[in-house]
Structure formats: C-alpha cells, structure tokens
Structure 1
Amino acid sequence: MGPDLPINNSDIPNLSPDDALERDSLVFRSYIALGSYQLVISEIDSNAPTPLQAVKFLALYLSDPTQKDLTITNLREWLGDAALANNPILRLVAGIVFMHEQDYNEALKYTHAGGTMELHALNVQIFLKMHRSDYAEKQLKVMQQIDEDHTLTQLANAWLNLAVGGSKIQEANLIFQDFSEKYQMTGLLLNGKAVCCIHMGQFDEAETLLLEALNKASFRSVGRLNDAKDAETLANLVVCSLHLRKSASRYLSQLKLYNPEHVLVKRLSSAEESFDRAIQTRV
C-alpha cells in the first residue's frame, strides 16, 4: 500500500455542509497520516474553508523542515484572527504543531478548552509529555463522562496506564488487545502492545510486534520512514534490542537519518558529547 493509494471516502447521502466538511477534513488528515503531504497541499486551495486550510497547514509543516518557521508564522496569523481562532480543527492542528515543537504551554493555549473528543485526547498526550499524569487523568475523566466507550477515550486510557506503569500496564495491554481484535492492526496498536510487553519484560514478543510495525511502515511509504509513528517504532526497537543484547545500530542509524530531532537521538548525542568532554579532560 503506497502513500498515493486512494482512501475509500464513498459519498454518503444527505450530508449537511458541516458534515461534508468534517468528512473531507478526515480524508485529508488520513492522507497526511499516509505521508501524502503534497496531495493534500495541492488539493486544498486558498479558497477552502478554515478547517481544510488548517489541515493544509499541518501538511505544510510536516512536509518540509525548512518551511516550518514560515508555516508556524502563518498559522499564528490565523489563530490571531478572532473570527477563526475558535475553529476546533484549527485549534487541534495548532496543538499538534506546537506539541511537535515541544512547546507544550503554547499547545495548551489552543487545546485546553477542549470542545471535541480529539482535543481532549490531545490534551492527554500533551500532559503526559509534560510528565503531568495527574492533569492527564483529569482530562481522561472528562472524556469518560462524555463517552466512556469512545475509541479515543479508550486510547487515552491506555496511554495514561502506560505512563503510570505498575499494575496499570496489564490494563493498557487489554485495551490494545481489544482494539487489535476489533480493527485492522496498525503501527499505533502494534507499538502500544509492544511497549506493554517491554514493561512486562516480554522482549521477544515486543520485538516481533515492532518488526511487524516497521514492515507495515516500509510497505506503506517505500523508503520514506518519516512520520512520528515510524520514529517511535525505531526508537522502541532500539530499546528492545538493547534488552535482548542485540545490536541496535541499524535502527539507531535509521532513526538518526529520518528523525534527527527525536528525543532518543538528542539524548544519545548529549551523552556522547559529555563522554567526549570527560575523555578530553582526563587527557
């Protein structure tokens, strides 16, 4: 399945204009998830409604690292327009972009008010990245009050359980297992199950799941492992390989090549620099 494979978005009869817009937004975001950034950029013109323009900002941001600053500047201009700033898709994209930038306070400026399940779920992610599982739990409770069985509520619950650890790991594993039985297996689910296995010391099983995730990514975007999920697969394979006393150099090299800004790469570079300084001091 290559990145240009058409997504099944067969016409649904009697959609209201708002529902049709939501459908189009989801379809274009699906193409972004497949790495088809240029398709999204070319098909959404300057006259498109705000939600689609927001999706285009996300595609622009992810497609070209050299244009990130310009994209963020343009995104801020839209967010500064009172008539546009409350659009939930625009706020969601702002949250995603600033989370990528690791500017979590800025991300929360646009997402904290919630309003949609996606915004609440993104808040959970942001709080977990800030190591504030207490705030993430509060967001999860809001989601549970709205719809306890919603897919995003269950995913957010699994993420929080992974962050808390201990006995919660088994609960997270059951959620990912339930999803894997209900839906087609994805890289996100495979990584979720693998991380549970790593926490439980089941490294051989984790490696099998992660290699399956990596194969799916390679099959999807032939030679272009460049989205966040693929990066996490490589990072998890590095950790898993080290626990299995196997060489992790190939996965680490791929991670450095495709995702040089990944936290694992940065931490390793920092450790290597500290080691080199210590050696020079001794010499």
Structure 2
Amino acid sequence: MRVALLFIDGVGVGRKDPAVNPLAGRTHLLSQFGDAPGTTLPEGGRCIPVDTTFGVEGRPQSASNQTAILTGEPAPALIRRHVLGYPNPPLRGLLAERSLVKRLVASGRTATFANSYPAPYLDALKLRRRASTTPPEFTFSPALIKRLRPSASTLAFSAGEVPLRTLDDARAGDGLTHDITGSHAHRRGLFVPQRTPEEAAQIFWRVAEGVDFTFFEHYLADEAGHARDFDAAFAALDTFDAFARAVVATQPSDARVLICSDHGNVEDLSTRSHTLNPVPVLYFGPPAPEVEALATVADVGRTVLRWLDVE
C-alpha cells in the first residue's frame, strides 16, 4: 500500500466566519471549523484536527513544523523554539539525520517529490536534481545566491539522495509546478504548460505510479494569509481544492492519501500572523483507525513511516 501526501502551507481549523475566513461559506475539503460542522468528506474521508504548537511558546512556524512533518519528530520541542521560513542549522541537522525520505530509501522503499523547480535555483542551492536539457531560465547574482536558503521539503528529499524535478519535467508532463496550474509560474516569465487542476491530478498519479511515497507541496495559501488578501486566498484555496478532489476521485486502490498543513494562517485574515489553531489532517483510503490517534503534525510523518513498515 503506497502513500501520497498533499501538503498545503498555512491552513488551520478556524471559525466559520466569512468576514475573516475565506474557507467559510465554501464546501472545500479543508472547510473544517472549530465552531461549526465542516464539509463532509467524499470517499469515506476522515478529518482529524492536530496540534501545531508542541507546547512551545510562540506562534508555530513553517521551517520547524514542516521539519516535524518530514521527519516524524517533534522538531519545535526538540530545539525549544519555532523557526520561520527556512530551516536553521539545528533543523537542517535533524532533516539530514531523520528525514522520513532518507529512512524510507534506506529501508528499500522509493520516494519522489512531484514539484518541479527551475534548474538554476536547485543548482544555486547545490541540491541534487534530475537532468535538464533546456538552457537555464535565469541566472542568480553572487549576492543573491548567498541569500538563498533551501526549504524543509527539498532538504528532506536531498537527505534521501532523491533527485529533484526541474521545469523540464513539468514541461514533459512528469512533474507539477507549485501553483498546480502553471499560471503563477507563467506570470513570472517561466515557460511551463498551463493545466487544469484535474489535468494536474492526472500528472500527480502518473508521477506516483509504482512509488511508495509521493509528496506535493503548495504554499500560496500561506502567502495570501500573510498579505491578508481575500482574492489571492480564494484563488489558492479554490485551485488546491479542485486538485485535491481530483486526486482523491482518481485514487488508485493501492494508495492512501493524506492532506495536511503545518500551521494556521489563511483561515483568519484578521491578522497577518500565523495562528494557534489546530490544522486539519484529511485521510482517504482503506480503513485506518490509527489516524484517529493523530495528535500533532509530527504524527503525519510517523504514520507514513508506519504504513510503509519503516521503524
């Protein structure tokens, strides 16, 4: 039984208040609320709200909580702080040692990252990548290269020596852009195909064919939350929902699907900050009573390892 994990940055379980929550009044999979019933999930799906704080003072942040998801370890508690943006040295060390991708590969399992990146970006960060025959899309100045930092997800896959996809893969239908449809990348001057969310879901399952663990990352909802931009939030959430529904609707019988976030943000546009709300973990697949015991975002990574028989 293989596992697919769709990760969306910055979506929590908030109030059903359309004045602050763009998920209110919509029937998205992630329209789950703390003060009202949420969307009934298709295909017998389950929603489990989980903690993002780990008992650590302050607001949950992306680097530390994404590390928790991608290692199965309580990263904020281990380093005693929340770390925003990109992993700091302690988190990088944790990912290098405990990345679930590294542990899967060491146990003979296979893993792949469905996202595609510009080759010059991966090269600037010295991250292992797949071959690219297209001329570089752009170049970085030496000053900018010094400021670039790798994400938790790219470090997790690099720890397992899994080559990352380039935009050549996206153009060949063997990878996805982070915005799912390609429109965001296209507006930034990158030549990539523009696809519907349903077409992107087909590509996702093509990428996942025969692979034990497949990961996809979407972060535009978090950007919209920080900007307090309802229009951007609607665009990001609507696109992700259409994609996620198509992924679930076309889910192979031998696959489990998890959808999760790292911390709250876009569900409360009254503030630019991350929230203390729990985040929804959605599960679609054969009966798995163990998902009801999920307590923190780190348990998502632990569950992936358990399902794939990795200690």
Report the TM-score, using the length of structure 2 for normalisation. 0.27
Rg comparison, structure with higher value = 1
Structure with higher RCO (Cα < 8 A, 6+ apart):
2
Whose helix proportion is higher, 1 or 2? 1
Report the TM-score, using the length of structure 1 for normalisation. 0.29
Whose strand proportion is higher, 1 or 2? 2
